[in-house]
């Protein structure tokens, strides 16, 4: 039997480590065994907030089948690309800035934009997989903290981090999060106001 997983870092504690690769690499809904392992996994939070958004891998992750995750993936890619383009533009702007202090502020803003994007991704994923209350609340607070950090960095640098492309792609991301949450559990509660307000 080909075994699944890696023992690096938190993955060493994953419930899927050493299980049959087939459980995690086949298309379609998670098997009862995969769903049970994900539900009880001690590192589901890490899987949800780090691995899933970072890799969008094939097969089952965090209890979600690939096709269930697909709408979120399709919306995530253009949004994240817009973030990455803006990040690159800010770094170029910093490189052209002669004033050292101003250059640092623009670089700080570029970093804050990415930190906010990472935090929002974790928040959305916690929502769509119906993470436990503690995980969800942690993801929400991290996002709100990073949002405040990005706004403060904008004020300090006197430069806006967001662009029309980012604003245009973000509503689709939230819509996809709702769609996926509904697919994962049809009795999805209403979106939290803090998430809706993030649009």
Q: How far is CA 87 from CA 20, 42, 92, 116, 188, in A?
A: 40, 34, 9, 12, 34
Among 20, 26, 29, 43, binds ligand SF4 (CB under 6 A): 43
DSSP type of residue 175: H
CA–CA separation, 85 vs 97, rounded Å? 19
Only segment of 12-20, 68-76, 110-118, 167-175 that touches ligand SF4 (CB under 6 A): 12-20
* DSSP 8-state assignment for residue 49: I
Nearest to residue 109, comparing CAs of 128, 133, 126, 92? 92
Stretch near ligand SF4 under the rule CB under 6 A, chosen from 41-49, 90-98, 112-120, 167-175: 41-49
3-state secondary structure of 63: coil
> Of residues 14, 113, 173, 195, which one binds ligand SF4 by CB under 6 A?
14
Tokens found for residue 49: 């907030």
Residue from 26, 36, 38, 69 in contact with ligand SF4 (CB under 6 A): 38
Judged by CB under 6 A, the residue of 2, 28, 61, 191 near ligand SF4 is 61
- Counting contacts by CB under 6 A, is residue 131 touching ligand SF4? no
List contacts with ligand SF4 (CB under 6 A): 14-16, 37-38, 41, 43-44, 47, 61-62
């Amino acid at each position: 039997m080909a075994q699944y997983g890696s023992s690096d870092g938190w993955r060493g504690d994953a419930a899927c480590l050493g299980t049959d690769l087939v459980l995690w690499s086949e298309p379609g809904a998670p098997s009862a065994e995969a769903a049970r392992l994900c539900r009880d996994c001690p590192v589901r939070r890490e899987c949800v907030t780090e691995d899933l958004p970072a890799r969008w891998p094939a097969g089952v992750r965090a209890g979600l089948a690939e096709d269930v995750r697909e709408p979120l993936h399709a919306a995530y890619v253009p949004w994240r690309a817009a973030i990455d383009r803006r990040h690159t533009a800010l770094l170029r702007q910093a490189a052209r800035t002669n004033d050292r202090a101003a250059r640092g502020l623009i670089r700080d803003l570029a970093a804050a934009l990415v930190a906010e994007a990472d935090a929002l991704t974790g928040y959305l994923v916690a929502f769509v997989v119906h993470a436990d209350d503690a995980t969800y609340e942690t993801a929400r607070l991290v996002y709100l903290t990073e949002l405040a950090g990005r706004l403060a960095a904008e004020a300090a640098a006197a430069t806006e981090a967001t662009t029309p492309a980012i604003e245009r792609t973000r509503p689709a991301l939230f819509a996809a999060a709702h769609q996926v949450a509904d697919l994962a559990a049809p009795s999805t509660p209403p979106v939290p106001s803090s998430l809706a307000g993030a649009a």
